[in-house]
Structure 1
Amino acid sequence: MNLIKSPKQKLYEEIYEAAKNDNRERFRELFLKLHDRDQHEVFHLLSPDIKRKISYFLTSEEFAELFEWMDLKDQQDAVEYLPNEYIGEVFTHMPADDVAKFLSDSDGTNARSLLQLMDEDQAERVKELLSYASETAGAIMTKEFISVHYKQTAGAVIDLIRSIGKNAETIYYIYVLNDKTELVGVLSLRDLLLSAEEVPVESIMSNQVISAPIDMDQEEVARLIQDYDLLALPIIGLDGKMQGIVTFDDVMDVLEAEATEDFQEFAAINSKGDDKEQGILHTARQRIPWIIILIFLSILVGGLISFFEETLESVVLLAAFIPMIMDTAGNVGTQSLAVAVRNINTDSGKRTGIAQTIKNEFGAGLLMGLASAVVMFLVVIVLYQNLVLALIISVSLLLTISISTVVGAVIPAIANQLNVDPAIASGPFITTINDAFGLLIYFSIATALLNYL
């Protein structure tokens, strides 16, 4: 066993010892040298007694930067262990959208009462963000952005950035407003720095501004930022005035959350995925309906085997290939489903209609089926020396794979056309449906050629 400690382990131990001995100067010297992510790791590893001392070691502004890096569980621990007044100051130093996200994710805690301990203006910004419908642009935007009047000069804007830039979410885009606080242009930091100080903003700003309404779905906002390769996207209120921005890092969180939700629905685990830890009863209640439905579908598939019982009794060897037919049908359908859901969430997929999807998938399935059929035909001939059996299995495999690819792709495509989340066409359903098709094809061909076996 390797007992040699890494430099990071030694450093963490020194930080822990400093905290344990209430050595504030030593703790700050070591802790503040760490990257924010490593600071979060240290906080996570600290015992509850040491965590309660953080307000002694770090200022509220310093801890605010650390709080933004924490996962929800560690954030909740911080709120529980640290004084309310201290956390109120921490929230004041944080971007309003990060505070709003924590509060919305922390339902069931008394965290919202901490709003009363925040700076009044910052608390109002947080309350405004909390008032928007969840998973919309308004709910994920930040209010910390730099805006200027179109008549201001480049020099005046540079002075403004120097004075308030530290509190802004990003300084790379400066948003230009008119007298009615309506967005009329955007100015990049690069163009600003390359311009003479006396030049008015309206002469160097870009009028081609990409923006989003405040009630736009967060996934559409993420796609818009991705499509236009933006660092931030301005959000426009229902009154036409600029209300905030959604930044690229916020979009990364959205894409991760949406991907997790799609995967859960794809696997028929949970139709409304979230990041909260679920209890045993809640988890079971979410999954039971899906499992019951799949059980009944499986019974129907089993009924198909009973229907062809005479065929099985006549040629028992046919039963040996049932798992292969069913597994292949399920695997091929699941592959097509995964590709279809991905394509639907990209521009290329949106331009492809159902008819084209069927054509593409059937063509791919036909080629895969031919290759698989040839391989199985040769295998059965070699192992069983039975030409008819080899023909039954190879033809069944060809048709099963061809149809399974279409089923796996068409169901999410139809769901998308009906404005239903395509992820509801989950893997277990596709697998069960394709199992039924595979067995029906297999036994139908076997029954037709039974006299030749």
Structure 2
Amino acid sequence: MAEEQNQQLEVAIQHLSDLLHSGQDETFKDSFEALHEYEMGQAYAGLPDHLRSVAWRLLDIELLAMAFDNLDSNDDETIALLLEMPPQKAVQVLRSMYADNEVDLLQQLSSRQLATYLSLMPKKEAEGVRNLIDYEEQTAGSLMSTEYMAVEEELLVGDVMQLVKRHANEAESISYVYVLDNQARLVGVISLRDLLTHPDKLRVSEITNPRVISVKAGDDQEDVAQIVADYNFVSIPVTDDDEHLLGVITVDDILDVIGEEAVEDYSGLAAVNVSQVDDSFWQSAIKRIPWLVALLILGMSTATLINHFDGLVQKASILAVFISLITGTAGNAGTQALALAVRRIAIGNTKTPVKTFLSEMLTGVVVGVVTGLAVFLIVTFWKHNMELGLAVGLAMMIAIMVANLAGYLIPVAMDRLGLDPAVASGPFITTLSDLTSVLIYFSVAQLFISHFIGK
């Protein structure tokens, strides 16, 4: 499906390019306007540079704004597309975009470029943009749009419908109309369905739902995304501490947040930034080396520990066979526990900390016992030595229990300290599990050494 869509988009870009080449300006504008909003952004970005300089001169400001609204505002290429136009033209496009997307783009500019663009805007509008830019990144305030429908509670349904019709194109979403009291505080919400199904002469206050789920401007974007997902909202209002309506966050921004958080978590688990997939080999290497060197140093501790037990291995060389089996399985168990712990933290845990701890501990016991028993049977029948099987199985059981508990406790502790739990990456937990499992393995082996020397 995705490949087919890409092919259709390529055909559309080629068609638009041909129209510009042949000077069919009106047909080009009609063809561009006929595209889906998402396709507008992709098609505009996909035009050759020399044709794009013609395109932005031909297209209406509203169409250009629509195209930029559907491009990734955090992408350097999108910034480059904006800077291709003269500042006066770029400001016109920005002012026609939705406020949240406009601010996202402006935040990517240098301070000098930002100052230039703001100086070309009306004073009041520039002040509003500055206020939005001041919100910290990854908070509700940085996501919200100021284009929304809000009415006073004393209005009639018919009057509100007229306002919706008049301002529908200006609002980013009209699924909800927010109701304000005479002090501009948010007191309720009305769905568009409610407005359509009630008499025009009815007062808005009579059909207002006073149960409003809202968020504060300083709330973390991940928490906001979870609320929207839980309630299946199309948009959610943002208020200040006095319940004054500041803006709304729409579901398209929530989808972006979910994608960003998923990339962030996966990057942490993999110990590499997976959001930049088009880096050069040199950039990729530079980003990966610090973590790998840190893990190498930690891994040297494991090597030193094995060397410490060199005398034990010389007495019973068979012990060396099972080192990688113990460390690998314990590392996998730790990574599984880590992934679940990070996910629990991300979406919120319905259980109490004590119940979660006990649940993870019992999970580690069950997994450890089953895995240890399986290894005991395999080694016993393979090497015809029950004592060796018991040593390896017991070590496996304890190593998995410890790794499972570490995989749970480390991200929880980091979260309590205010650190990103995803930083407790899979490679880190795996390397730490190697260290602990080797210590456990040889400590247990020492108890059984007299039973399998020379085996």
- TM-score, normalised to structure 1, is 0.90
Are the equivalent residues in 1 in contact too, given 2:341–2:408 (CA < 8 A)?
yes
Letter in 1 for 2:450: N
* Residue 299 to residue 6, structure 1, CA distance change in 2 (3 Å): closer
CA distance in 2 between counterparts of 1:295 and 1:7 reads 47
Match of 1:213 among 202, 216, 220: 216
Alignment partner of 1:351 is 2:354: no
Deviation of the 1:332 alpha carbon = 0.8
Compared CA separation, residues 392 and 107, structure 1 to 2 (3 A): farther
Q: Deviations over 1:56-79 (max 9, x none)?
A: 331111111111111223422321
Separation in 2, partners of 1:351, 1:375: 32
**Identity rate, percent:** 31
User: Given the superposition, is the C-alpha separation of residues 213 and 14 from structure 1 closer, same or farther in structure 2, using an over 3 Å criterion?
Assistant: closer
SS state at 1:328 partner: helix
CA-to-aligned-CA distance 1:82-130 (integer Å, 9 cap, x gap): 2322221111111111100111134477255223334555433322211
**Counterpart of 1:47 in structure 2: which amino acid?**
P
Q: Which ranges of 4 or more aligned residues in structure 1 deviate by more than 6 Å?
A: 273-286
CA distance in 2, matches of 1:226, 1:128: 27
Spell out the pairing of 1:217-228 with structure 2 (5 A cutoff). 217-228=220-231
Whole-angstrom distance in 2 between the partners of 1:224 and 1:45? 36
* Aligned partner letter, 1:58: L
Structure 2 unaligned residues grouped into runs of 5+: 1-5
Q: CA deviation at 1:350?
A: 5.0
Q: Which of residues 234, 243, 246 is equivalent to 2:249?
A: 246
- The equivalent of 2:176 in structure 1 is 173
TM-score by length of 2: 0.89
What is the match of residue 332 of structure 2?
A: 331
Q: Which residue of 1 aligns with 2:84?
A: 81
Over 3 Å counting, the alpha-carbon distance change for 1:107 and 1:228 in structure 2 is farther
Conserved 8 A contact 1:103-1:112: no
The residue number in structure 1 matching 2:93 is: 90
The number of residue pairs the alignment matches comes to 445
Cα gap change, 1:277/1:243 in structure 2, threshold over 3 Å: closer, same or farther? farther
Q: Is the 8 A contact 2:13 2:47 kept in 1?
A: no
Whether contact under 8 Å (2:239, 2:245) holds in the other structure is yes
**Separation in 2, partners of 1:383, 1:239:** 72
Q: Which amino acid aligns with 1:196?
A: P
Report SS of the residue matched to 1:225.
helix
User: Against the structure 1 CA distance between its residues 363 and 381, is the aligned structure 2 distance closer, same or farther, given a 3 Å change threshold?
Assistant: same
User: Structure 2 CA distance, aligned partners of 1:10 and 1:311?
Assistant: 69
1:20-59 superposed matches below 5 A: 20-59=21-60
Are 1:259 and 2:259 an aligned pair? no
CA distance in 1 between counterparts of 2:80 and 2:151 reads: 40
Q: Would the aligned equivalents of 2:222 and 2:346 in 1 still touch at CA under 8 Å?
A: no
CA distance in 2, matches of 1:439, 1:62: 63
* 1:433 equivalent in alignment to 2:436: no
More displaced stretch, 27-36 vs 137-146: 27-36
- Paired position in structure 2 for 1:144: 147
1:385, CA displacement in angstroms?
Answer: 2.2
Take 1:121 and 1:22, find their aligned partners in 2: how far apart are those partners?
40
Structure 1 residues 424 and 52, CA gap change in structure 2 (3 angstroms): same
Point out where structure 1 has 5 or more consecutive residues left out of the alignment: none
Where does 1:31-430 land on structure 2 (aligned, <5 Å)?
Answer: 31-71=32-72, 72-107=75-110, 110-118=113-121, 120-269=123-272, 290-347=291-348, 349-353=349-353, 355-430=354-429
In 2, Cα distance between equivalents of 1:21 and 1:226: 48
Alignment check: 8 A CA contact 1:51 1:81 kept: no
Aligned counterparts of 2:423 and 2:437: Cα–Cα separation in 1? 22
After TM superposition, give the deviation of residue 313 of structure 1 in Å.
0.7
Q: Deviations over 1:359-418 (max 9, x none)?
A: 222322232223323332333234322222222212211221122111111212233334
Q: In structure 2, do the counterparts of structure 1 residues 84 and 188 end up closer, same or farther at CA, with 3 Å as the change threshold?
A: same
Greater Cα offset, 408-417 or 110-119: 110-119
Deviations 1:239-294 (A, max 9, x none): 54211111222122222222222322333336xx9889989998777666544443
3-state SS, counterpart of residue 360 of structure 1:
helix
Corresponding residue SS for 2:188: strand
Contact residue 60 and residue 87 of structure 1 kept, 8 A: no
Q: Distance in 1 between matches of 2:373 and 2:442?
A: 19
C-alpha distance in 1 between matches for 2:47 and 2:246: 40
Structure-2 separation of matches of 1:401 and 1:259:
27
Q: Deviations over 1:218-241 (max 9, x none)?
A: 222222222333222221124542
SS of 1:449's equivalent in the other structure is helix
Q: CA RMSD in A?
A: 2.7
The amino acid across from 2:197 in the alignment is: L
Select between 151-160 and 116-125 the one with higher mean Cα deviation.
116-125
Q: Which residue of 1 aligns with 2:451?
A: 452
Distance 2:79 2:317 in 1: 62
Aligned-pair distance for 1:201? 0.9
Of stretches 287-296 and 158-167 in structure 1, the one that deviates more from structure 2 is 287-296
After superposition, the Cα gap between the structure-2 partners of 1:138 and 1:281, relative to the gap in structure 1 and judged at 3 Å, is farther
Report the CA distance shift for 1:88/1:277 in structure 2 as closer, same or farther (over 3 A): farther
C-alpha separation between the residues in 2 aligned to 1:11 and 1:101? 28
SS of aligned partner of 1:175: strand
- Aligned CA distance change for structure 1 residues 177 and 7 (closer, same or farther; 3 Å): closer
- Amino acid in structure 1 at the alignment position of 2:180: L
Change (3 A) 1:290 1:12: closer
